[in-house]
Structure formats: structure tokens, C-alpha cells
Amino acid sequence: MTVNSNENVAQTRPSTTAIGDALRDQVIELLEAEGHKVTREVRVSSKKVDVLLEIDEEFRPQTIAVECKNLGKNMSQAELNAIYADYLSLLDEGEITSIFVITRLDFSPEAKLYANKKRGQLEIFTIKEFEDSLLGYRKYCRNVRDLFSEAGLENYYIKSSIEGGGTLHDQIVEWIASPTTTPVAILGGYGMGKTSDLLPDASKVFR
């Protein structure tokens, strides 16, 4: 049987829709992790909004339309202007208070200048900038990465043993690799190394 390799590549390559959805889902997960109210694919007035973020501030509640664009290049001013124009009627009607545009890569210098002129109504972020502004994510990753080397722990660390034989490290690695979603409880007295035993793997993950 002859197999068309081009067809196989086309079947295994993610569609542009799937790629865009992955970025959108990542943004939604970040927002929900912070406890924000997020609605996806909702109709606001006459427009369907992919992601609607509602921030219930006491003096200035905000309703923000979030556009996620997973482009293979920096977003141009023309592309950013088209997004802004698409939401302008909702801004004018007071249906939304602002627009967030989030990209995987970056924005052109002209797009950044354009967004700066529209500040207050239009905010732009790369996904890294958005993570940082929301969670301080990169700082958190650096802190976790460095915990294992603090106070020379990496020089004298010894893996903890568990009842029945084996190491806690091996059990945790096996649990991570398994399909189960059941949480694991680690029981041990103070100073037994429960936290220290997890730091080597955490440090590797965030390098």
C-alpha cells in the first residue's frame, strides 16, 4: 500500500484554529487561577466575544474583551487596528470597558505606538508579559528553580525513604507519569524532608 506522506503530515499538524484555541485556553486558565470570572464564546450586543473577563472592582467594575492571537510573526499595526475597530461599537455603547490583545510572539513597533495612544481602551501583551503581570510567573519560576541550591541543599541532599522500601522521589515520579488525577498525601514528622525531597524535580522543571 502506498501512503501519501504529505497527507500524513497534514493530518498530524495542528490546525490554525487548534493553535489559536491553545493560546486562548492558556489565558483562560491563568485568569481562572487568579479567581477571575471568565466567560468564553459569549454574545455581547451584536458581537460574539471569544473571551469575556469581568473584574468586580468596588469603584470601577470592568468588563474586558480578550483577544488571543497565536500568530507566527509579530502583530502589525494594521492587524491591531482591525481588532480595535471590531470592538469599537461595544466600547462606545459601554458594553465593555477595554480590550486586551494577547499574542504568542510580539507586536511591531508601530503596533505598540498605536496601542499606547489607545491606552485605557486597548492593552496589549505577549503571553509572557501577561503571565508576569497576572501571576509574577517568571519570578515565581526563578524562585522555585533556585530553592534547591539555597543554603547548599544540593550538596548534601539525600533522598527520603518510605515505608515498604524505595524512595519518595521514585514514588512521586511514578505518580506524575501515571494517568491518575488522585492527589498524593505525604505524611511525615517535622524535619523529615518532605519539602526538600520535592525540590530537585521542581528545580529541573523550571530550568
Q: 181: which residues sit within 8 A by CB, 6+ positions away?
A: none
Of 84, 107, 135, the position where a domain reaches its end is: 135
In a shared domain, residues 104 and 35: yes
pTM to 2 decimals?
0.60
Do 47 and 125 sit in the same domain of this protein?
yes
C-alpha cell at 113: 505606538
Exposed, middle or buried by CB within 10 Å (0-12, 13-18, 19+), for 164? exposed
Q: Which three cell numbers stand for residue 183?
A: 492527589
CATH at residue 105: 3.40.1350.10
Residues 34 and 83 in one domain: yes
**Residue 14 has what pLDDT?**
55
What domain count does the chain have? 2
User: What pLDDT digit, counting tens, does each position of 144-161 carry?
Assistant: 777 777 657 667 777 777
Domain that holds residue 54: 5-135
Higher-pLDDT residue of 68, 17: 68
Report d(CA 133, CA 110) in Å as an integer.
22
Shared-domain flag, residues 89 and 117: yes
